[in-house]
Amino acid sequence: MKLSGAQLANFLKRPDGAVTVALVFGPDDGLVRERADLIAKAVLGDAGDDPFRLALLTADKIRQDPALLADEAAAMSLMGGRRVVRVRDAADGVAVPLKHVLETGRGDALIVLEAGDLGKSSSLRKLCEAADTAVAIPCYADGPREIASLIRDTLQAQRIQIADEAVEYLVGNLGSDRGVSRQEIEKLVLYAGAGGRIELPDAVASVGDSSALELEDVVYDALDGRTGNLDGALTRLFLEGQAPVSIVRAVMRHAQRLHLCAAQVAAGQPADVVVRGLRPPIFFKYTDRFRRQVEQWPLDRCERLLKRLTQAELDLKRTGYPDETLCRHLLLHLARLGPARR
């Protein structure tokens, strides 16, 4: 049976005693580990480290000894209480021994399988989705809504308040991996302290990436037409290992947001209103510059800009010309077309 929504939330808090296998799988390794931890904790409580109630296996150990899984599932705890058998790196090779466990029904231990991204044709996934006493829990990359909920729930547990604009900044700057996101949020908890409050500058100070901000400066300088510091800033980015194609894509993302705003301005909306309505919001350091660019890059210029950037990305992939040179030439060319140079 596949779990999601309210069913999943209830199972993570109180695993059904009739369920003997929980397959937790998906491309988000951090979320897979987090949900497996929640299931094990819900069953074991304070006995989470009790070797008589918790068994740790790997798919490789089961491959070497296929009977090991059934033996652990049937073992009894010396001190009482339900046992948990956790299997790391589970894959289709575990399906046959697991099927034997499900068919024999020996013991009441809960087997928690942690797997990667299993396709619909996976034998392990099919087995757990079809079995009456098994559940399959997919773990896909967090979207903006899930990241926002994770932020608020984690901070609320420490009685920490957070400004809406700080949440929006974090949603736009945290990655989609649950484990990495949680580490960054925990760092923010330490920064604010229990009972504190987080404003936008606090979020930037705790989670912000200085190299990312330097890349933003390059993007803004290019489209503002400021050629003075552009060449030196590009050199620093290249020396820090920034790939030329990633710089071009950053300009592309920026140009797409400009194009979106320019279309709304062309339809009669004020530039200030359009910029304030962007989600995720423009970082406060760049708000005024972005608003000016919306006015200085009207719809037709944005369309030509996007075509130029698309062609540049293709050139970086196809030609044998040095990519750093192509990137530098592109940004300096855009800067010469920018408002400050016109």
pLDDT tens-digit readout, 1-12? 888 788 998 999
The mean pLDDT value of the chain amounts to 86
Q: Exposed (0-12), middle (13-18) or buried (19+): which is 339, by Cβ within 10 Å?
A: middle
For the chain, give every residue range classified as CATH 1.10.8: 144-207
Q: Peptide bond before 270: cis, by omega within 30 degrees of 0?
A: no
* pLDDT band with cut points at 50, 70 and 90 for residue 341: very low
Domain 210-341 -> CATH class? mainly alpha
Place of tokens 């330490």: 190
Architecture of the domain delimited by 5-138: 3-Layer(aba) Sandwich (3.40)
For the chain, give every residue range classified as CATH 3.40.50.300: 5-138
pLDDT value, residue 342? 45
Phi, psi of 109 (to 5 degrees): -65, 150
pLDDT tens for each residue of 93-140: 999 999 999 998 877 899 999 999 999 999 999 999 999 999 999 998
CATH number of 144-207: 1.10.8
Mean pLDDT, residues 255-266 taken together: 90
